[in-house]
Structure 1
């Protein structure tokens, strides 16, 4: 993916992140302190974990707009079950199973029913949130019960002076990288995203691979949800109807993973997360209003999509699939 000369989008975004760091360091005292940098990375670790989940789906030429809703509902239900007296491990297993099955249903709708991914996952996200609020729990915010206090370490603990969420982000990135590079199904996923028809001709089980990418997205999303709940000792399910999922897409597209599929990797997610983290941290320190921050993020997302459209134009197959 070339933009200017020999520079890739990933390299340019990384350079912009470094320039922003230097600018904020010059303008904002204390920006480059160790504590602030650790807080910066920690604050975007959950966004980065979700970015990995979304990145895997986008590489497979899909998109998962239900990711945040599924994360919120599955983890909130887990906490609700523990509060009702269920053992923690059993509640975690049930919450994870709910997440994986729901992810598989989304994948089935895309792969076998052949509903365009953007519409299938948008509808699933709305369904998941409504189902969770009506049938599983009745509160907007589900708090961490006493019996689940052991989970707090994953969001608030430190290891060798580094917050645990950073380790979680690093672990998810490593696992996803190894999957894409060395696992046969990981290579299949990239091949399906690059050219679905060619992948089928060569004997790749395209439909099961499409289902797999949504199951993996659900798995990683559940992990992000546990870290989220552990960080604030609660799960606010209204995040499901917020614009948070677009922040996740911003990280993926900005980092250089093409929406046309088959391109990019986990390193792109890391770079995109770094830039957004620096930007959000700097704007927070400068006390820029949240609404203004939303405008800035929206402009960046729109610009990134325009650049991606120029670099990776929609081909006939993409248009037929209806994916963005």
Structure 2
């Protein structure tokens, strides 16, 4: 009899409910309608960052530039409107800038074989410096009142940032689960060399995920700037980077690549937003928040490492029970097996 598979997202859903219940007992104001709306609005930026970070992590990379891209793209939109562009054109320019940063990151990682940590850490530096240089470290007021619709508007009573996150999550879910591109992303994260030998364009996949991360960070920059109607050169310099990594990791996206889902990343973002908002409501000092988020990241990585080891152990047991392989050579690791099967599926789809 085949056992039913328990969704991996069930665990984090239970954790979110427990955390919300505990914070609600400590402070009844947490469950008020106004605070829950604030939690959702603040969580949309984290959600966008987590979605972009999840795509990069699925390929075994990491993006440390997300916080700085928030400032860069927000200031780009504000400066574009001050130069006379309509709000929608300024938003498109900002998204293009985010995509450009991602394209540079992905190209350097793939073509020059540089470590993603170093490449994106360098991007973190220049993306944070450019807005300061362009404005002399001064803020820029948004001149087009229509721009407020992105961060303050609503559609059928639903805040526009929440609508944008929902649309992005739906598109990303379809891409990951129902397209060859999604199969390629998982395959590259499972084992890049096996994916390459299977004919998967790993270079395109690598560049694509970093571009998506840059676009998601740009959406975070647009929402932040739109809500404040001011472009701040220091926006995104707080805990946004930690939030994006923590949300993706606790949502089940593996730091080793090849494992994770869009819905898991979204749930991770909700958990991080809940913890952050709850600490503010309860009255915990802000300097405690990085410590808590750091512990959450450490716990997520520990669980991910343990899960990976258990998967490898279970795979080895199955192979031993099945007997010697038919082919002369055997796969050396679980990721290689996963990537090989994904690559074969991808090639059949083509």
TM-score interval, smaller chain: 0.7 to 0.9
| Aligned-partner Cα distance in 1 for 2:55–2:102 | 13
**Correspondence list, 1:197-276, <5 A:** 197-276=193-272
Report the TM-score when normalising by structure 2: 0.82
Taking the aligned partners of 1:156 and 1:88, their CA distance within structure 2 comes to: 14
**Number of the residue aligned with 2:115:** 116
Structure with the greater alpha carbon radius of gyration: 2
Contact 1:253 1:259 in 2 (8 A): yes
Q: Does 1:139 align with 2:137?
A: yes
Q: Distance in 2 between matches of 1:85 and 1:38?
A: 33
Q: CA RMSD in A?
A: 2.4
Write the distance in 1 (CA, Å) between the matches of 2:161 and 2:236: 21
Deviations 1:18-57 (A, max 9, x none): 1122222333224333333232222211111111011111
Question: 1:61 is matched with which residue?
Answer: 60
Q: What is the deviation of 1:248?
A: 0.9
Question: Structure 2: how far apart are the matches of 1:141 and 1:310?
Answer: 46
Q: Distance in 1 between matches of 2:48 and 2:192?
A: 27
Q: Provide the secondary structure at the position in 2 that maps to 1:62.
A: coil
Q: What displacement does 1:194 show?
A: 1.2
Deviation at 1:240, TM superposition (A): 4.5
**Residue aligning to 2:283:** 287
The 8 Å contact of residues 63 and 210 in structure 2, kept in 1 or not, is answered as yes
Residue in structure 2 matching 1:189, options 180, 185, 189: 185
Q: Could you list the runs of 5+ residues in structure 1 that have no partner in the other structure?
A: 1-5, 319-324
**1:298 corresponds to which residue?**
294
Show structure 1 runs of 4+ deviating over 6 A.
314-318
Q: Higher mean Cα deviation, 230-239 or 45-54?
A: 230-239
State the match for 1:155 in structure 2: 151
Q: Which residue of 2 aligns with 1:85?
A: 84
Question: Deviation of residue 317 (structure 1)?
Answer: 12
Q: Which residue of 2 aligns with 1:34?
A: 33
Q: Distance in 1 between matches of 2:67 and 2:38?
A: 22
Contact kept in structure 2, 1:77 and 1:137, CA below 8 Å: no
Contact 1:10/1:256 (<8 A) preserved: yes
Q: Provide the rounded CA distance (Å) in 2 between the counterparts of 1:163 and 1:93.
A: 20
Q: Shift of the alpha carbon at 1:316? A: 9.0
Q: Which residue of 154, 179, 183 maps to 2:175?
A: 179
Aligned equivalents of 2:156 and 2:204: distance in 1?
Answer: 41
Q: Where does structure 2 lack aligned partners over 5 or more consecutive residues?
A: 313-331, 336-350
Greater shift in the superposed pair: 47-56 or 72-81: 72-81
Shift of 1:112: 0.8
Secondary structure in 2 matching 1:239: coil
My pick for the range that moved more, 286-295 or 86-95, is: 86-95
Output the TM-score relative to the length of structure 1.
0.88
Which residue is 1:321 aligned to? Answer: none
